[in-house]
Amino acid sequence: MRIAYLTQSYPPMISGAAIAAEQLAKGMANRGHVVLVIAASDTGKLYRTNAGNLTVLRLASLRNPLRANQRLLAFPHRSILQALHEFRPELVHTHEPAQMGFLGLKYACSAKIPILLTVHQLPWFVSSYLPNIPTLRKLVEHTAWAYAGWLTGSFSSVISPTSTISEIIRLKTGYYPVTIPNGIDMNIFNPERPLEEKAEIRTRYGIPSNVPFILHVGRLDADKNVERVLLAAKTIIEKNDAHLLMVGDGSRKNSLSELSISLGIHTQTHFTGFVSNKQEIAKIYRSADVFVTASEIETQGMVLLEAAACCLPIAAVHAACIPEVVHEGVTGFLARPGDISALSHAIELVLAHSTEGTSMRTDCHALAKKYGLEITTEKHETFYLQTLEYRLEQKVRREYAPY
């Protein structure tokens, strides 16, 4: 197959969509397919890289004012259509519904080929950046869902990474996506740990060897509710002399640091900034005692799966697709959305159940194995082939239909 992937964000820029697009692109290229990725340039300037069957075209871009370390395409209309025309894909797969999605649709319609969309965010992502005015947020979400309902019908198929999100989309739009999860690299995210690794990580990030280690990995932006992690961790830090490690960057990093000072927990709260090395992230997961998130907008929650793959139990909120990963009392504990005390209690429960060798850690790894990269890449490949076969059958029927 000749496959074109369209995505605003692509590594070294990091987001859920970026990681999913890169994994698919490399996976399909390794399986012998010819792949073109079109993405925003991480440097701002146009450039191209080639590695075997995989070509990555980076188009001129501008800084994204709402997201740290992210960039947006600058007037890409002609460049994208020209690149697709020269590449001549058999199938287009877009990971962004607006700018890239529209241009992908335009090309796919003219070339009469299938185009797929993977959903990485729902309208609640947009409303989370608005002022906390309920009527405004409700209006924006209603408008966005109306747009989404129109848009989904334009694609050959829409892919959702979890059953929960597929059902939400069905209820809101009447269109039922195909559920295919994004994968995690089990060669990187796994429980294997040298004896000295835990001590090495704790020393590197200033965490004493004999205290509970609470971990948060993810963007420090408005939609992730990271301030609730700090508020929930405060009780544990004060009671058990625990330390909290915040891995990631974002627009709220400075305000979160200031919040830790005002809460009196700044000496036991550590902000690493962005960590790009996946092996380092895996070491951090393996060295922690509990992973915590207060995000309520996840469409899959890749960091949850990465933590689980490293046998790290989770304290999270019962929202969106999170219960598909965090099974109560099995892989972690859940709290009501917005309930800081309940989230703090969930952290305590995990700490009480997640000692070395316990079944909770084993169950985390068993769940994560179902999302292994080879498994999810094969599911995508199978769906691509089915889509092309169906399109061919439809073409044959039209050509040979009786008058």
Q: What is the end-to-end Cα distance of the chain in Å, rounded?
A: 33
CA distance 142 to 387: 31
Both 223 and 361 in one domain: the answer is yes
Both 128 and 236 in one domain: the answer is no
CA dihedral 15, 16, 18, 22 (to 10 degrees): 140
Residue 125 has what pLDDT? 67
The 10s digit of each residue's pLDDT in 357-388 is: 679 999 999 999 999 999 999 999 999 999 99
The per-residue pLDDT of the chain, averaged, comes to 92
Confidence of residue 129 (pLDDT cuts 50, 70, 90): low
* pTM of the predicted protein model: 0.92
Domain span holding position 132? 2-184+372-399
Q: Which of 140-144, 147-151, 207-211 has the highest mean pLDDT?
A: 207-211
Q: Would you say residue 191 lies in a domain?
A: no
Both 68 and 55 in one domain: the answer is yes
Confidence of residue 46 (pLDDT cuts 50, 70, 90): very high
- Token look-up 């292994």 returns 372
Q: Would you say residue 87 lies in a domain?
A: yes
Residue 353 has what pLDDT? 87
- Compare 403 and 5 and report the one with higher pLDDT: 5
Please tell me the least confidently modeled range out of 191-195, 220-224, 351-355, 394-398: 394-398
> How many structural domains are present in the chain?
2
CA distance 30 to 26: 6
The 10s digit of each residue's pLDDT in 299-325 is: 999 999 999 999 999 999 999 999 999
Q: Would you say residue 46 lies in a domain?
A: yes
CA distance 267 to 248: 18
The CATH number of the domain holding residue 54 is: 3.40.50.2000
CA distance 337 to 81: 43
Residue 81 has pLDDT above 90, yes or no: yes
Both 126 and 37 in one domain: the answer is yes
